[in-house]
């Protein structure tokens, strides 16, 4: 598995975000609740130089609520860090963000010392959607162009809490193999960046371990406990009529079906990594 980013592009984005973070009191890092660790950008931590950080596990409507709780506890146990779960159905997200920011920087606040915050995160985690909800207007979507700050404005989340309306965007950095697959399954990395069948098979293998009931229910499968991941994908192909002439399963088509349905949340509320798994994956990657 290989995903290539353009180093020049990345360096510019890094510099832009570092410059903009200078006057910031609290960094709000948006993560995808289905893959909180894989959707983090480790550079944000380095660039924010130990500033208090609020981790927002967004799209929690798609994630497994039990696992979201594990992740929130995991982040909340870290010094200088608070975490909360969120999704686009939340009508007044600003109130919760403001409360968490105040806890993180109790010595700031008041009109003399407003709390200045910036939202950072990889593309597609929901930064623009959240900012739009809080401003009640449609901000120009920066697309997938990191570091666009032209015409940037500050939004008052409270009398003394200011949010910059251009999110700080950095591409994901793939530290562990499993994280790469999870990013691809979520749709955070471009469709052409990875082999869809490989990604779908990894996804199926994970679902077989943790969400076998949801998988069998969605595709009306019988007992899958003795099957291999590719055999399950073949069965999905058969069930959904994704077949070539001659009765051969169209694995590419079946992969697209599984990935699209996972992304749309119709297989169920699923999270692709747990804190203990992530720790083990990182350890394994370091040993390699």
Q: Are 153 and 263 in contact (CB under 8 A)?
A: no
Given the rule CB under 6 A, which of 3-11, 96-104, 125-133, 170-178 is the region that contacts ligand G4P?
125-133
Phi and psi for 126 in degrees, rounded to 5? 110, 20
Given the rule CB under 6 A, which of 21-29, 55-63, 71-79, 254-262 is the region that contacts ligand G4P?
55-63
Structure tokens at 116: 């200045």
125 is in an annotated binding site: yes
Residue 128 is a binding residue for ligand G4P (CB under 6 A):
yes
Which of 59, 108, 210, 274: binder of ligand G4P (CB under 6 A)? 59
Looking only at the bridges linking them, the beta strands covering 115-121 and 161-164 are parallel
Which of 38, 53, 68, 124: binder of ligand G4P (CB under 6 A)? 124
Phi and psi for 203 in degrees, rounded to 5? -60, -45
Which of 127, 210, 218, 269: binder of ligand G4P (CB under 6 A)? 127
CA 27 – CA 38 distance, rounded (Å): 18
User: Smallest gap, in angstroms, from Cβ of residue 156 to ligand G4P?
Assistant: 21
Helices 212-219 and 229-239, interaxial angle, to 10°? 30
Which of 5, 61, 102, 277: binder of ligand G4P (CB under 6 A)? 61
For ligand G4P, how many residues bind (rule: CB under 6 A)? 14
Residue 62 is a binding residue for ligand G4P (CB under 6 A):
yes
User: Smallest gap, in angstroms, from Cβ of residue 85 to ligand G4P?
Assistant: 10
Which of 39, 41, 48, 58: binder of ligand G4P (CB under 6 A)? 58
Closer residue to ligand G4P in complex, CB, 59/218:
59
Span 79-108, contacts to ligand G4P by CB under 6 A: 87-88
Q: By the criterion CB under 6 A, which residues form the site for ligand G4P?
A: 58-59, 61-62, 87-88, 121, 123-129
């Amino acid at each position: 598995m290989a995903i290539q980013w353009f180093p020049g592009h990345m360096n510019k984005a890094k510099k832009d975000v570092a410059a903009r973070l200078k006057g910031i009191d609290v960094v709000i890092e948006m993560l995808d609740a289905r893959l909180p660790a894989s959707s983090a950008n480790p550079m944000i931590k380095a660039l924010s130089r130990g500033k208090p950080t609020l981790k927002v596990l967004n799209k929690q409507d798609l994630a497994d609520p039990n696992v979201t709780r594990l992740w929130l506890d995991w982040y909340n146990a870290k010094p200088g860090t608070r975490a909360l779960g969120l999704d686009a159905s939340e009508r007044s997200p600003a109130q919760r963000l403001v409360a968490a920011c105040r806890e993180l920087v109790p010595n700031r606040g008041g009109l003399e010392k407003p709390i200045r915050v910036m939202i950072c995160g990889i593309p597609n985690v929901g930064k623009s959607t959240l900012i739009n909800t809080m401003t009640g207007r449609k901000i120009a979507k920066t697309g997938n162009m990191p570091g666009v700050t032209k015409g940037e404005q500050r939004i008052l989340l409270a009398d003394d809490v200011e949010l910059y309306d251009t999110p700080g965007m950095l591409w994901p950095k793939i530290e562990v193999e499993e994280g790469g697959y999870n990013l691809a399954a979520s749709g955070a990395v471009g469709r052409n960046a990875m082999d869809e069948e490989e990604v779908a098979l990894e996804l199926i293998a994970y679902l077989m371990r943790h969400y076998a009931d949801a998988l069998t229910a969605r595709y009306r499968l019988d007992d899958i406990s003795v099957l291999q991941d590719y055999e399950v994908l073949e069965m999905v192909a058969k069930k959904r009529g994704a077949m070539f002439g001659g009765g051969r399963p169209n694995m590419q088509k079946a992969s697209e079906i599984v990935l699209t349905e996972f992304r749309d949340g119709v297989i169920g509320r699923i999270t692709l990594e747990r804190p203990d798994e992530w720790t083990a994956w990182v350890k394994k990657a370091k040993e390699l």
